[in-house]
Amino acid sequence: MGLSACGGGGDDSSASKTVRVTLANHVWTENIKQALPEFEKQSGLKVEITQLGEDQLSDQYNVKLNAGSSDIDVMMYRPLQEGKLFAKNKYLADLSEQVKSNKDWDFADFQAGPVEATSYEGKPVGVPIITEQEVLYYRKDLLAKAGLSAPPKTLDELKAAAAKVKAAEPGVAGFVARTGKSPAVTQFSSFLYSFGGDFVDDSGKAGVSSDAAKQAYAYYGGLIKDSGPANVSTDMSWPEAMAIFTQGKAAFYTEADSLYKNATDPAKSKVADTVGFAPFPAGPAGSKPYNIPSWALGVNDSSKNKSNAWKFIEWATGKQQTLVQQKAGVPSARTSVWANPEGTATYPKDLVEAIAASTKVGVGHDRPLVVKVAEAREIVGQPIVDAIAGKDAAAAADTANTAFQKFLDDEAK
């Protein structure tokens, strides 16, 4: 219901019957594309999808939204990366009215953390569609060969196990993870929290030179340098790191759970049947992985087709679609689908356990929460690559802290 009437707010009589939707390359997108005919039939609308890689998507928004273009109605965006910037620039329409308009759709069903991340100044400007937690991917066969009966529970155990596998298996790395200055920041964040640090400390000051942060930088960089692939590059994002893991060239890999299908799908992974999942290993401050909404849908504020745009979002994020998505491997932000046994039946059992553990202790951000996130990531990511390159991580952290404090001061002005 709710689709037949012009349910949402706004009464744009000139509205087009075509909804233009811009989406990122993602499992979610592939799933929604398959379900589209159902929506088109139901609503009588036509959906035109533009699909782009993450970087191209960002660039596209930068160009089009900057120019006030109205040819995007619905946009898939990254709340933690661009949310603040987009909302501040008034690219995202205020959805306060729409989220209340349909009881069945049930906005209260969404987890609190993701909702907060998609709000700006207390008003919802997006609807979270995918959540992510960092988990440990590992190779059961390599562990057994190395005489280890269970995946490591602490970061110390991880370090020892990675070194052991690397020594025992020529050509196989003990550990792999993202190494690019900016891409690595999000996955490094769980290490940072588990050592007891954060990018910004409780008093709002830059926190990347705290003792905990210095230990985390040295640990992450050292692990890749000592147990990582030979000749490791400092440009790896997840596709490169995942490729090394799925080619059978690494024993442990820390990454977002939402990418698990890449590792368990036999068409993409040589190690599909030997992959195991475990909660993020505990550091001195316990196991503290991030737990965040990585993607959301928003309405372009310059769109002339806002009510139809909302109809699409309402359908795509409704309980039914969300369950379908979750079953197809996209961890969702709706509480009800996690409570539903059907919603977790298709997941590897150990992954469900790892996710459940993560949502309990998770931290709601995986990067500094600022407006100019890309710049901030480059600053706090520098010590990571310095540590991988074998430089002094503590000195790099001190330098980064000074730069990051200046950045925070500039932004606060």
Identity of the residue, 65 or 313, whose beta carbon is nearer to other proteins in the bound complex: 65
User: ∠ at Cα 388 (383, 392), nearest 5°?
Assistant: 55
Q: How far is CA 256 from CA 169, 187, 197, 389, in A?
A: 26, 8, 20, 24
Stretch that binds other proteins, among 58-66, 132-140, 210-218, 324-332 (CB under 8 A): 58-66
- The terminus-to-terminus CA distance of the chain in angstroms comes to 47
Question: Quick one: CA dihedral 139, 347, 186, 157, positive or negative?
Answer: negative
Which range, of 2-10, 31-39, 106-114, 223-231, touches other proteins by CB under 8 A? 223-231
Q: Can you tell me which of 232, 285, 323, 357 binds other proteins, judged by CB under 8 A?
A: 232
Q: Which residues of 358-371 are buried (b: 16+ CB within 10 A; e: fewer)?
A: bbebbbbbbbbebe
Q: Does 52 bind other proteins (CB under 8 A)?
A: no
Encoded amino acid at 148, one letter: L
The residue among 309, 313, 300 whose CA lies nearest residue 15 is: 309
Interaction pattern, residues 254-293, with other proteins; x per rule: CB under 8 A: ----------------------------------------
Q: Binding other proteins by CB under 8 A: which of 34, 247, 320, 402? A: 247
Among 75, 85, 223, 397, binds other proteins (CB under 8 A): 85
Region binding other proteins by CB under 8 A among candidate stretches 155-163, 201-209, 218-226, 234-242: 234-242
By C-alpha distance, which of 210, 209, 250 is closest to 230? 250
Nearer to other proteins, 50 or 66 (CB): 66
Can you tell me which of 64, 78, 181, 288 binds other proteins, judged by CB under 8 A? 181
Kindly tell me which residue out of 59, 97, 211, 409 binds other proteins, with binding defined by CB under 8 A. Answer: 59
Instruction: Find the part of the chain contacting other proteins (CB under 8 A) among 128-136, 174-182, 282-290, 321-329.
Output: 174-182
Burial label, 176 (beta-carbon count in 10 A; 0-12, 13-18, 19+): buried
Q: By CB under 8 A, which span of 150-158, 225-233, 321-329, 340-348 interacts with other proteins?
A: 225-233
| Whole-number Å distance between alpha carbons of 312 and 318 | 10
Instruction: Report, in Å, the least distance between residue 66 CB and other proteins.
Output: 5
Q: Which of 79, 174, 229, 276 binds other proteins (CB under 8 A)?
A: 229
Binding-site member from 62, 320, 346, 402 for other proteins (CB under 8 A): 62
Q: How far apart are CA 232 and CA 3, in angstroms?
A: 52
Q: Does residue 231 belong to the site contacting other proteins (CB under 8 A)?
A: yes
Nearer to other proteins, 198 or 386 (CB): 386
Rule CB under 8 A: is residue 408 a binding residue for other proteins? no
CA atoms within 13 A on the CB side of 23: 21
- Residues in 90-149 that interact with other proteins by CB under 8 A: 91
Least CB distance to other proteins at residue 166 (A): 13
Smallest separation, CB 386 to other proteins (Å): 9
C-alpha to C-alpha distance for 258 and 61, rounded to whole angstroms: 24
Q: For 65-164, list the strands marked E by DSSP.
A: 74-77, 119-120, 123-124, 127-139
DSSP tag of 369? -
Q: Cα-flanking dihedrals φ and ψ of residue 96, to 5°?
A: -50, -45
66 binds other proteins (CB under 8 A): yes
Question: What distances in angstroms separate CA 167 from CA 53, 151, 163, 175, 250, one per listed residue?
Answer: 37, 18, 6, 12, 12
Tell me how many residues contact other proteins (CB under 8 A).
Answer: 35
Shortest reach from residue 151's CB to other proteins, in Å: 24
Buried b (16+ CB within 10 A) or exposed e, 25-49: ebbbbebbeebbeebeeebebebee
Contact residues: other proteins, CB under 8 A: 55, 58-59, 62, 65-68, 85, 88-89, 91, 179-182, 229-235, 237, 244, 247, 249, 371-372, 374-375, 378, 381, 385, 389
